[in-house]
Homo-oligomer: A and B are copies of this chain.
Amino acid sequence: MSLREPDADTRRSWFSTMLRIRAFEDRIQELFMSGAIGGTTHLCQGQEAVSVGSIGSMEPGDVQTNTYRGHGEALALGMASETAFAELMGKATGGSGGVGGSMHLIDFSKGNIGANAIVGAGMPIALGAAVGFQMQQRPNVALSFFGDGAINIGTFHEALNMASLWQAPVVFIITNNLYGEYSPISSTTSGGPDLARRADPYGMPGVSVDGQDIDAVHAAVSAAVERARGGGGPSLLEMKTYRYRGHSRSDPARYRPAGELEAWKERDPIDILGRRLAVEGILSAEAQLGLRAAIQAEIDGAAERATAAPYPTLEETSSYVYAD
């Protein structure tokens, strides 16, 4: 059970997964800049501990919803980077056969039941899955990832109210990266910087967590997940984190105060876990370097294979519209 302390293997795998997400996102950024990928994309460098630490609390049969900024969750849930690259390139070998794109890395077989491009839309969907579990008396839990900007839209309120009312096994996770597009939280969000407080009026527990510390993330999410699984109802968790890139491809993030990015990089989630693993003798600095190189090679190969993959045809994808 996830309430047990995560063992050394688990934490090593977290480290690898965070590295994979980082390398994947960096490569995507390059591919966009070079024009090899079009459209827009929303990267999550800096937020890896939130994705990986939270997903690490899921058990088989559990599900989650996330957002257009969901590459981290998708990879943490085990989507192959080649499949993810192919989707961003619009290739037939992508997770959605290329029709979904950057904002929709989805894998039902791994419990990733949706990456949504509409702010706030994933919360009711996760809640619905959770209520389904409850009705079916399955011991499963649904997680829902969304941003700080999403807490001001109606569905947040509507979903939290119903979740609490029905004591549904769902965990709401705010990835608070301080900005919604170009807007700092304080310019859009009343009630002060502590977003966990938004849980109060529903009689729901709300907890703020250091989102750069994967051990803290995992402990908090595991507690909420086990609570939900045991019939204790929903929770709201706020993960305090930061995105290193702008909102989307076209955003140079000029709105950041000087020094803010650098200060957050001082608390890089991969470095934090890396230092701990080295100190604890679980993964030496040298081994970490080797791991980085291996993952970089994996990413290089995956991007290359995705680049070589074919585009889908209308015929192949026409069955995506209607079931039957």
Q: Is the CB of B202 within 8 A of A191?
A: yes
Contacts of A152 in B (CB 8 A): 157-158, 161
Contacts of A188 in B (CB 8 A): 165
Contacts of A260 in B (CB 8 A): none
Q: With A and B bound together, what is the CA distance between A172 and B155 in angstroms?
A: 20
Interface of A is mostly: helix
In the complex, what residue of chain B is closest to A195 when comparing beta carbons? B201
CB distance from A68 to the nearest CB of B (A): 20
Q: Which of A156, A189, A191 has the most CB of B within 10 A?
A: A191
- 15 further A-B contacts with Cβ under 8 Å, apart from A153-B154, A161-B190, are A154-B154, A154-B158, A157-B158, A160-B190, A161-B189, A162-B190, A164-B191, A165-B188, A165-B189, A190-B201, A190-B203, A191-B200, A191-B201, A200-B201, A201-B201
The answer, yes or no, to whether A198 is at the interface (CB within 8 Å) is: yes
CB proximity to B under 8 Å, residues A194-226 = 197-204
Q: With A and B bound together, what is the CA distance between A58 and B160 in angstroms?
A: 35
The answer, yes or no, to whether A192 is at the interface (CB within 8 Å) is: yes
Q: With A and B bound together, what is the CA distance between A158 and B192 in angstroms?
A: 16
Contacts of A189 in B (CB 8 A): 161, 165
CB distance from A141 to the nearest CB of B (A): 19
Contacts of A164 in B (CB 8 A): 190-191
Interface residue ranges, A against B (CB under 8 Å): 152-158, 160-162, 164-165, 187-192, 197-204
CB distance from A192 to the nearest CB of B (A): 6
With A152-B158, A154-B158, A161-B152 as contacts: A192 and B203 at CB distance below 8 Å: yes
Contacts of A198 in B (CB 8 A): 201
Contacts of A162 in B (CB 8 A): 190
CB distance from A130 to the nearest CB of B (A): 15
CB distance from A176 to the nearest CB of B (A): 14
In the complex, what residue of chain B is closest to A198 when comparing beta carbons? B201
Q: Which 8 pairs show the lowest CB-CB distances between chains A and B?
A: A154-B154, A157-B157, A164-B190, A191-B203, A190-B202, A165-B190, A198-B201, A191-B201
Q: With A and B bound together, what is the CA distance between A204 and B190 in angstroms?
A: 9
Contacts of A160 in B (CB 8 A): 190
Q: With A and B bound together, what is the CA distance between A199 and B197 in angstroms?
A: 11
Contacts of A197 in B (CB 8 A): 200-201
CB distance from A168 to the nearest CB of B (A): 11
In the complex, what residue of chain B is closest to A159 when comparing beta carbons? B154
Q: With A and B bound together, what is the CA distance between A230 and B162 in angstroms?
A: 37
In the complex, what residue of chain B is closest to A163 when comparing beta carbons? B190
Q: Is the CB of A158 within 8 A of B153?
A: yes
In the complex, what residue of chain B is closest to A187 when comparing beta carbons? B165
CB distance from A201 to the nearest CB of B (A): 5
Q: With A and B bound together, what is the CA distance between A200 and B192 in angstroms?
A: 11
